Amino acid sequence: MDFDVLIIGGGAAGLSCALVIGSGLDKAFAKNRKAGIILHQRSSHLQSALLNNVFGITPGTKGMDVLKAGADQLTELYPKMQQITKEKVKEVAEINGGFRVVTNKNEYTAEKVVIAVGYTSPFRISGLEEYLIPHQKAKLSKDRVQLKNQDHLVKPGLYVAGTLAGWRSQYAIASGSGAAVATDILTDWNDGEHTKVHDKLA
Ligand SMILES: Cc1cc2nc3c(=O)[nH]c(=O)nc-3n(C[C@H](O)[C@H](O)[C@H](O)COP(=O)(O)OP(=O)(O)OC[C@H]3O[C@@H](n4cnc5c(N)ncnc54)[C@H](O)[C@@H]3O)c2cc1C
């Protein structure tokens, strides 16, 4: 497999997931694990957002600036998290022991995949149709979608995060969802023993 985990989508949920997994890659239980993110950001809802009501973010911050800062933070702090840019995912197919992710330019294999591409309809990634349902926490008239899941797990090895997991569209909720999936994956790598990554003041 090219990756132990491949995150699809570089918005609030995808980037949060990548930062938390990235912060765990130096742990003993993650030794030799390969992680990556398909960091497509053009259609993130954050591109047009103005953030006034998010804890920890200076009121008046533009969503597009948060997207850029998040990608830079990932590059600087967690370079082991491979960033794949300028590619859009077209298909996710189940293969023996994992998934094949097909983009407009390449193909990758991964044992685990996190889908964090937002809740916009029509949903354009083929191979996931059987999990697609109308969004349970958005106005019907908006025609949003989600993937059926239980606590972010669609099926073994396949996770969904952010608005596509069925959460309401708020930045903090989407970020928290991505971070939650990251800790589930780190815990799995840690043989099921619960784990998280905390940095402390010296
Ligand atoms: C105008 C506006 C204002 C908002 N204001 C606020 C606010 O004030 N406060 C607040 O809390 N929230 C606000 N939000 C909501 C917030 O932006 C969303 O809740 C949040 O961005 C959802 O995160 P997400 O990761 O689920 O989706 P997104 O952030 O939309 O990320 C999805 C990512 O997937 C990528 N992607 C899509 N398709 C593919 C594909 N096929 N292959 C690869 N990548 C793909 C996209 O480019 C994008 O980067 C606002 C949203 C909008 C639209």
Q: pLDDT tens digit string along 57-104? A: 999 999 999 999 999 999 999 999 999 999 999 999 999 999 999 999
Residue 194 placed within a domain = no
Mutate to test the pocket of ligand 1, among 39, 46, 145 (most ligand atoms within 8 A of CB): 46
Ligand 1: residue of 132, 167, 171, 175 to mutate (most ligand atoms within 8 A of CB) is 171
Query: Domain for residue 201, yes or no?
Result: no
Instruction: Determine, yes or no, domain membership for 195.
Output: no
Dist. CA 21–CA 27, nearest whole Å = 10
Query: Can you give the residue range of the structural domain that contains 115?
Result: 3-189
The confidence score (pLDDT) of residue 160 equals 98
- The closest-lying atom of ligand 1 relative to the alpha carbon of residue 162 is 26
| pLDDT given for residue 161 in this prediction | 98
Domain assignment present for 57: yes
- Tens digits of per-residue pLDDT, 93-146? 999 999 999 999 999 999 999 999 999 999 999 999 999 999 999 999 999 999
Q: Which residues line ligand 1 (CB under 6 A)?
A: 8-14, 38, 40-46, 48-49, 51-54, 63, 88-89, 116-118, 124-125, 162-164, 169-172, 174
Name the residue with the closest Cα to ligand 1, atom 4.
49
Number of structural domains (the chain) is 1
Residue 39 lies in a domain: yes
Provide the pLDDT for residue 128: 97
Instruction: Annotate the chain with DSSP letters as a single string.
Output: --EEEEEE--SHHHHHHHHHHHHHTTSGGGTT--EEEE---TT-GGGG-EESS-TTS-TTEEHHHHHHHHHHHHHHH-TTEEEE-S--EEEEEEETTEEEEEESS-EEEEEEEEE---S-SS---BT-GGGEEE-TTS-GGGT-EEE--BTTEEETTEEE-GGGGT--S-HHHHHHHHHHHHHHHHHHHTTT----------
Domain membership flag for residue 197: no
Which atom of ligand 1 sits closest to the CA of residue 161? 26
